[in-house]
Amino acid sequence: MKPLISRLKPYYNSKEFIAAVLPTIGNIESFEMEFAEKFECKSGIMFPYGRSGLYSLFKIWQLSNDEIICPAYTCVVVAHAIVLSGNIPVFVDCEEGSFNMSYAGIRNVITEKTRAIVVTHLFGYPMDVGMINKIVEEAEEKYGNKIYIIQDVAHAFGAKWNGEMVTKYGDASIFGLNISKIINSIFGGMVITNDDVIYKKLIEYRNNNFPKQNVSRSLKRFIYLVSVYIAFNKFIYTLVNWLENKGFLDRFVKYYDESVIDFPCDWNYYPVEIEARVGLVQLRKYDEIIQKRTSKSIKYAEYFKNDDRIKLVPLSEGATCSHFVGLVSDRDKWIAEYRERGIQLGTIIDYSVPYMSAYEKYRRGEYPVSRFYSEHIINFPNWPE
């Protein structure tokens, strides 16, 4: 078997391993503080997943049976958090030529029933946070309701709009910290905020509702970390990829089912220290990682610039290149061709949420741009080496 360059790979060396076994580097509280500071907010609250943090925000704001705006083209777990918290997702299609929500689309669906909006900065491309604030403020004035703004920066750690981090805007920001993200804490998620009331309520909510399961959870996380070290070796990865293609790894790699709205069974357990310690090591590598991802993405953009078989969305100022994506008409052919060359391409977000059978009842009209993207998207390995 030829070695294969994987579509994603966490940037680990011995430091993560040492941090996992030695408790001296820090703990959940120090990770939360350092993380919030890095992304220019006052406080951070760690969660077992990003989706758990999003769900908990809806709960502390006592949103129930309320409408929450989110993109049609995003990770489905965002919509899951809305529904499982007892609310109604209202989808907005992408702006033509962008992977993010259309501003006109947001204006069209915002009503007196809207109580929150999840502003996703997909693949690291920042949205115009000033424009979002304006739309929301106008609606708040018109309808007399508070509308919470959550920046979803699971793909856009450190992304900036007009030179300012998008996480400085809105009520709170959520991050996912699994191994497919820019940096990770094995698993995990984070909410950061500048609002002391939100911070107090959220930490209290987590502490009261997320039981600790330290020993077994830490052990599982440690085993997972070691497996990741091994699996992403480029020679071993060929075998891993073969197993994945045969469906033997579905339990680990398939994160959604078209017809089901659910969370993983451990979504509401307290995060463990080992995750926070690995997260701290990764956080301190953030600048290096983002610089390497960006330089690889710029090289891809240059390489494909005259290739009319692939359509790129130009990297905007302040983008953070979590992924390098393009749109192609014959996706399977690209995947096969690159596989031959020893490079694995991904088909990140190959669905448009309102068209999934589980979300049919929430669909209002059509979302053609996101549907098109879901059928044509392709992503190239841009992980740091």
Ligand X SMILES: Cc1ncc(COP(=O)(O)O)c(C=O)c1O
The Cα–Cα gap between 313 and 14 comes to 36
Question: Among 267, 297, 349, which residue's Cα sits nearest to residue 53?
Answer: 267
Q: Which residue, 5 or 77, is less far from ligand X as judged by CB?
A: 77
Half-sphere exposure of 218 (CA within 13 A, CB side): 14
- Provide the minimum distance between the beta carbon of 342 and ligand X in the complex, in angstroms, as a whole number: 27
Q: How far is CA 100 from CA 29, 103, 111, 344, 366, in A?
A: 33, 9, 20, 25, 16
The Cα–Cα gap between 351 and 340 comes to 26
- Provide the minimum distance between the beta carbon of 187 and ligand X in the complex, in angstroms, as a whole number: 7
- Provide the minimum distance between the beta carbon of 159 and ligand X in the complex, in angstroms, as a whole number: 12
- Provide the minimum distance between the beta carbon of 13 and ligand X in the complex, in angstroms, as a whole number: 23
The contacts of residue 58 (CB under 8 Å, 6+ apart) are 68, 81, 82, 85, 86, 87, 116
Q: Which residue, 238 or 370, is less far from ligand X as judged by CB?
A: 370
Q: Which residue, 139 or 280, is less far from ligand X as judged by CB?
A: 280
Contact region with ligand X (CB under 6 A), list: 38-46, 55-63, 69-77, 308-316: 69-77
Q: Which residue, 105 or 189, is less far from ligand X as judged by CB?
A: 189
Compose the 19-58 pattern: x for residues touching ligand X by CB under 6 A, - for all others: ------------------------------xxx-------
Query: Which backbone phi and psi does 150 adopt, to 5 degrees?
Result: -115, 125
Interface with ligand X (CB under 6 A), residue from 9, 38, 115, 155: 155
Interface with ligand X (CB under 6 A), residue from 126, 189, 279, 326: 189
- Provide the minimum distance between the beta carbon of 216 and ligand X in the complex, in angstroms, as a whole number: 20
When asked if residue 120 is in the footprint of ligand X (CB under 6 A), the reply is yes
The contacts of residue 196 (CB under 8 Å, 6+ apart) are 42, 43
Contacting ligand X within 219-278 (CB under 6 A): none
SS3 category, 314: coil
Burial of 56 (0-12, 13-18, 19+ CB in 10 A): buried
Interface with ligand X (CB under 6 A), residue from 178, 218, 268, 316: 178
The secondary element (H helix, E strand) that includes residue 374 is: helix 368-376
Can you spell out the DSSP letters for 133-156?
HHHHHHHHHHH----EEEEE-TT-
- Check the CA dihedral 289-294-295-300 and report its sign: positive
Q: At what angle do helices 234-245 and 214-231 cross, to 10 degrees?
A: 110
Q: Which residue, 258 or 337, is less far from ligand X as judged by CB?
A: 258
When asked if residue 67 is in the footprint of ligand X (CB under 6 A), the reply is no
Q: What is the per-residue burial (b if ≥16 Cβ within 10 Å, else e) of 100-123?
A: bbbbebbeebbeeebbbbbbbbbb
The Cα–Cα gap between 271 and 46 comes to 7
Interface with ligand X (CB under 6 A), residue from 68, 69, 78, 276: 78
Q: Which residue, 139 or 358, is less far from ligand X as judged by CB?
A: 358
When asked if residue 348 is in the footprint of ligand X (CB under 6 A), the reply is no
Compose the 287-326 pattern: x for residues touching ligand X by CB under 6 A, - for all others: ----------------------------------------
Contact region with ligand X (CB under 6 A), list: 56-64, 101-109, 151-159, 208-216: 151-159
Q: Which residue, 154 or 280, is less far from ligand X as judged by CB?
A: 154
Interface with ligand X (CB under 6 A), residue from 43, 56, 74, 379: 74
Q: Which residue, 20 or 76, is less far from ligand X as judged by CB?
A: 76
Interacting residue ranges for ligand X, rule: CB under 6 A: 49-51, 74-75, 77-78, 120, 152, 154-155, 176, 178, 189
